[in-house]
Structure 1
Amino acid sequence: MFRIFLSLFLTVSFAASLAAQDIFLTPYQALTHDAPIKMVAMAFSAGGKYLSVVDGKGTISIWDVADRSMVKQWSVDEKVLYTSFTEQDNKFVAVTTGGAIYQYAVGNFDRVRTAKVLARLVLANLDPSRQTLVLYTRDNNLELFDLKANLTHANIRVPATVKNPMFVGYDRFGQQLFMITEQGSVLSWNPITQRFLRELTLQSGEYTGSRSVLHAAAMNSPGDRFVVGLQEVFIPKGGMQGRNQPERRNMILSYDWLTGNENKRVPMRYRVDEMSFAPGAGHVACISKDAMSVWTVNLEKAEITSTVSLPGTPSVLAISENGEYLAVGLHKGAVQLYYIERNTPAEIRINTPGLDRSYASQVVYTDKAAVEGMIEGNERITKVYINDKEATLDGNRHFSGEAELLPGKNKVRITAENTEARTTARDFYITYEPRTATAGKTHVSGNVKVSQKKVALVMGNASYQYTNKLNNTVNDADGMAATLSELGFDVIKITDGTYEQMKNAIYAFGDRVQDVDVSVFYYAGHGLEVDGANYLVPVDADIQSALDVRQKTIPLTGVLRTMEVTNHEGLNMIILDACRNNPFPTGKRGGAGLAKVNAPSGTIIAYATDPGSVASDGAGAHGLYTGELIKQMKLSQRIEDVFMNTRNRVEELSKGSQRPWEEARLKGVFYLK
């Protein structure tokens, strides 16, 4: 017996909140241009390997960032409005103001496709799946252009009352399209049905009778927060008498997308003309055409964290998706590249004794324990103490010393002191048990556990209303929830979730995983792939076409974006326990199941079966893969070994018909137990 069984998502992040860090810029490279022509558009590839630079005459230059060399340069003889890398960095797209859409193969950057929109273009952007361009035309239309089909598949008429749009973008699921105008109006539509949803008005409201004008806007990658650069103009006290001129106040305002409520404001000296979200949900970088500087701003602290002078007036800004590089294009043709550095607070890593990464527990049989470790981060540490006794600290931030122990449970505190006498501490526990002989055996007590903050969202869908029901997916969700609870997780569980229930649960989960040590997302149920994008299927989804998939299911990109910021510095594990055939009507697009997702740095992606195969429903209460995975999660072993042993056991039990596999780019060693 077999089943269509989608996704187990396991995401683990260590408590290193980017919101608590500041970021700053260090010079990397200046890219020169043949002529002093204004830079108008830039884009990094997703992995940060390439940077596209476009000047005001339509010349496109592709640079290899690491090699600091130009890969290719060509001209489209028309002003370029927008560029981006698509399809997991396999394609590069350029959009011109005249409506031309060019697609190029990444590598040799030869043109592979050309299309033409019969209108002048003002704004452009990509949806989260990087498959659909949204194009705002001069005649007040929003065109949705499918890059794979190479044609426009939908149009949205923008009301004539909407004036001066300056930004278009999507929410994290790609199921809401929004537009921001210079006057502070935010309008949204459903891009699948083209139905108008709502309108918000953004105002500073600080001065009575003032007029607010937006000059820049940006959306964070999870799609739940947007920021605007606002200039408020108001009449000074005493009115416009004598030499009095209108006064201006510049600021950055941060808004919650769901509610439209303002949550942060940051006063700025200069008008903000362009901005982009830096690593983490709470950082933006911005430029002003009135100043030769680039700023980084911590939105959570509502303060500017760094100011870097530029050799000329800036015109355009870009940040790599991996958060490593920032590029500023100048009016006179050069491009300044910077590393994005994080002012990471000191973090104490203990190497000895060999603590369990999840619980920090140890049993020893002597009254002294050797302690050694490292101080991570770039905060300047001058002294380290082990239970108030100064330890040895070398120039490489390595510390060592001893902890004296009493019989029983002992708390050991490591304290790191910085140049300002501020301290960071980490506690762990050692149980000292003097050896005692009992019937010729050495007595050993149980481990002492120290809990971490861990949150999990578990979903299992079985009772589908419009397609075949699944036998064990709810059992799998129950089993995974119980296992995670045993491992110390605060578990949220949803079974047989409708579209709204699943979507709301993901939003709520995104709110709860801030500043946690470990976060887990688990899904068991039907899944589909359409045009390279993966979707989780709610129980109330009536799927008859590819359009239904986009409208009635949960895009996997939405889940990934929800967790992306929180897990930027942590370890991410994504496990897709999915069969690769389509449970919905034949002849409909969706074909052979889930698409491959590349593993970014610090991530392991595990698949329950290879493409074209079927995941077994199992002979017992659980599906074959999840049943074996749960068993391995309960053992104390490296996370790589959890997956390797699960894979070997599944292949053995299925006699080779189901072959799990993994992609890993881990930064360190991790134990679930």
Structure 2
Amino acid sequence: MMRFRLSVLSVLMGSWLACATVFGAVAEPPVAVVVKTGSAHDLTSVLPVLQGLLRERKFSVVAGSQAGEAGWRIELSCLTDKCPLDASVPRVIVKLEAFDPGQPEPVAVVRAPHCSVQSIDQAASQAVTILFKGRGAYERDREAFFRQIGFHFSGKQAAPVLAVRDTVGPQIDVISPPLPEAPPRGMRLARAKTGEVTIIGRVTDPSKVDRLTLNGQSVVLDEKGTFQPVVQLTDRGDYPILLEAYDAVGNVSRLEFTLTPQMAQRIAAAKSTVDKRLALVIGNGGYTGVPALGNPVNDADAMASSLTSLGFRVIKCTNVDRIALISAINTFGEVLSKEKYTVGMVYYAGHGVQRNGLNYLVPVEVTKQSDVESECVGLQHILNKMEVANTRVNILVMDACRNDPFVKPAQQRDAGNSGGPASIKAPTGTLIAFATAPGSTAADGTGKNGTYTESLLQHIQKPNVSIESVFRLVRTDVMQKTNNEQIPWESTSLTGDEFYFRR
């Protein structure tokens, strides 16, 4: 049985608070820090960094030949994908898992993403450092990680646990209008002109958000903390905005920015643009030679209905074989070109695989792994149809990054990048969205709709939210619902006026 001491000495409490753990427990025996078995990357050089950060927080850390003497351990691993803000920059997502030797599942898990052009081990070291020393979201994640460890081990011996004191105000994120990353003189600037501007964003807090105000006036929040107040601008010029968010324990955070001339004019121009919209919606779930999926047909039905309500003409097909799938794509391409549609969208839910750097949609009759390249339908076939049509906006949504149907469950952990989509460069005027990041997989989901599609169905119906903002909202939702296990990913080369699903 692991033993823990409880200390209320101020010096110890200070060090634990700095680590965002306020349960006051000091582990005895010490903790071992190791690279997770089977990790795809060599993170040996990151171990000393992590060990040093733990020692700064008064943990007793052992390594190497002494690791067997530890009473618990932290396993280190990471995955890589592309930075959501700039697909040309790599991103590492470091994962720390705390294990009690008596249990096969981790006691607590925390992740730290970091975009960097450095080598993987250097970027991972930086990610760990930011996790331990950063503020805001990093501090909240770190706090939850160590708090969970404290609750677990204290509960084993019924030791008292001190209550966590939240000292951080809510997180305020403005999605639209876009705000620059480096505001001058501490003030963020958006652009606006006479007329209405909808400020769209989200406020979150682990202690529950109590209220949000805009220039002193209460703002309505939905159950997820999303807000959409409308500001009426005049010709007097700049319009200062002050958002203040309060959590349930009294902490407050503030975000200031100024609406200045031009944004409303651009928004009005986008509203006046009349798009002719065509969508192809495909749902494959009734597979005969590989594991069937429960949600794709439901996903396709719901998506077809939603897109119809948004002004799309919809071509829908479900549980199609290779011939029917190719025929549907060809029909879509012909109609898109001949009838001069300005917006083309393809939504696919079902099995999707990658082979030799290429992505494939899996028809329902394919059974053998060797049939992938000859019997499945390449994603590039769809992109070629879209590019030839010369539409203003092309949208390709692939809720297809599910478990590789040709890999046995025992092999899935070692499937590496073969399990998810390859990286794709979108043609000009195109946004490609995957349900998860390149090289990763995602579950089919347990409800009526998949996790990704469920969120997408919600956000495409929100008025005055640009397409890029829609997918940022979806990414946030999915990451929260899956504890960061699934990270949606997009590649975009959209140009010209903003596209909005609903105005």
- Asked if Structure 1 and Structure 2 have the same fold, meaning a TM-score greater than 0.5 normalized by the shorter chain, the answer is no
Higher helix share: 2
* Higher Cα radius of gyration: 1
Per the normalisation by structure 2, the TM-score is 0.43
TM-score using structure 1 length: 0.33
More strand by share: 1
